[in-house]
Each structure stands twice: as C-alpha cells, then as structure tokens.
Amino acid sequence: MLDNIYKELYNIKYKEIKMKDKELKDLERKLLLRYFEDGVVDIYIGYVVAIFGLSILFDMAYLVGAFVAVGIFIPKILKSRYTYPRRGYIKIREAQRSGFAAVLLGVFMAGTFIFLLFGMGTSNPMVAFLRANMVYVIAVIWGGALSVVAAWRGIKRFYGYAAALAFAIIASQWIGSMGLNLLGSGVLIMASGLIMLWMFTRKYPILREGID
C-alpha cells in the first residue's frame, strides 16, 4: 500500500520534472526559431540544391564538393553582415550543433548506402528494386532530410521545401530533367530565403552596442 503511494508520488514528480524540461526545450526552440527568421539557412539550402542540379545538368559532378565547400561561408557572411547587427550574435549549444552534424551524417550515410548497394550487382533483388525506383529513393533522401530538420527545429516552411523538392525530383520522370528540376527548386528556395532576408532587414533596424 505504502509502496504504491511512493510509486505514485514518484511518478507525479517525474512527470513534473519532465514537463519543466519540456518547457525549457520549447523555450529553446522558440529562441532558435526566431534566429532562423532571417532566411539565411534557406538561401544556403537553395544554393546546395541548385549546385547539385547544375552538376547533373552540365555533367560536372566533380565540382559539387568544391562549390558546396565554398558555399559553407555563405551563412557566415550573411549572418555577420545582416543578422548579427540586428538581432545579435549567438552560438548554439554543443548538443544542438551535434544534432545538425547527425542530420548531415545521416544524409551522407544514406548516400553511401545506396552507392554500396549499387556495387552489389543487379542479381540482388533489393538492388534491382532500388535501381528501378531510383528517382523515388533520391526524393525520399532529399525530402526526408529536410523534413527531419523541419520536425527537429519546428521550422514549418521546411516541410514545404521538402515536399516541393520531392515533387520536383519525382516529376523529372515526366517533365524536365533531374538536373533542371533540382536547379529550379534550388533557385526557388534561394529566392524564398532572399525575400525573407529582405523582410528581416526591413523589420529589424541595426543596433549599435550602447546606443539606444
């Protein structure tokens, strides 16, 4: 009887602690969400997608790595130029940064898995199935990666990007080509990010430390 009461009390306390942790997590999410309203991440995602599209279109896959590596500086430059003077600078916590790395690693591993799968030869029914549905596999990887970020960060517009990108990839079977559709999607996502950045600069004036 007493054991049950203790268990019940423990459960109540445990739930309360969990709830308060959740409140803090929600707060953290809101804080970071405000920091993503500048559209800089959107511009970078659009850039990466467009570069993939261009590399397929002009058959220059060897340049993807170089372009994506150069593009890593885009968010840093834009944040320093437009975001930090208006909303201030923050460094997100290590756990959050590790989360981003995990998403990137996930996409990389999915790509490697497909690559290895193709090396197994067509006699394998799994490989044959994936080869026959390659477009859908690519759509799931791109759309899935963006959806994971959307769910994890609570950035709802990323669901839209994920759906648009998956649609553009699948539609390449009937309209346009994979390269052209990726390029188009990337340019659209970049444009959306640029509009957000423009609105952001209009909404928030530049602040100088110590000057009201």
Partner 1 sequence: MAARESGTAGKGTHGIDRLIHAPARLVIMKTLYLLDEGDMVFLKTETGLTWGNLSAQVSKLQEGGYLEVVKDFVENKPHTIIRLTEAGRAAFEAYRRMMTDFLE
202 belongs to the binding site for partner 1 (CB under 8 A): no
Site for partner 1 (CB under 8 A): which residue of 2, 4, 5, 89?
A: 89
20 belongs to the binding site for partner 1 (CB under 8 A): yes
33 belongs to the binding site for partner 1 (CB under 8 A): no
Tell me how far, at minimum, the Cβ of 90 lies from partner 1, in Å. Answer: 4
Size of the site for partner 1 (CB under 8 A): 24
162 touches 19 (CB < 8 A): no
Closest CA to 193 of 83, 29, 56: 83
Q: Which residues, 6+ apart, have CB-to-CB distance to 119 below 8 Å?
A: none
Residue among 76 and 109 whose Cβ is closer to partner 1 = 76
Site for partner 1 (CB under 8 A): which residue of 37, 68, 71, 85?
A: 85
67 belongs to the binding site for partner 1 (CB under 8 A): no
Closest CA to 187 of 155, 164, 153: 164
Tell me how far, at minimum, the Cβ of 211 lies from partner 1, in Å. Answer: 7
| Cα–Cα distance for residue pair 63/54, rounded to 1 Å | 10
Q: Which two tokens stand for residue 84?
A: 């930090």
61 belongs to the binding site for partner 1 (CB under 8 A): no
Q: At what angle do helices 125-132 and 94-119 cross, to 10 degrees?
A: 110
22 belongs to the binding site for partner 1 (CB under 8 A): no
211 belongs to the binding site for partner 1 (CB under 8 A): yes
Site for partner 1 (CB under 8 A): which residue of 81, 88, 120, 156?
A: 88
Q: For the chain, report the end-to-end CA distance as a whole number of angstroms.
A: 63
164 touches 184 (CB < 8 A): no
| Residues of this chain that bind partner 1 (CB under 8 A) | 16, 20, 24, 27-28, 31, 84-94, 204, 207-212
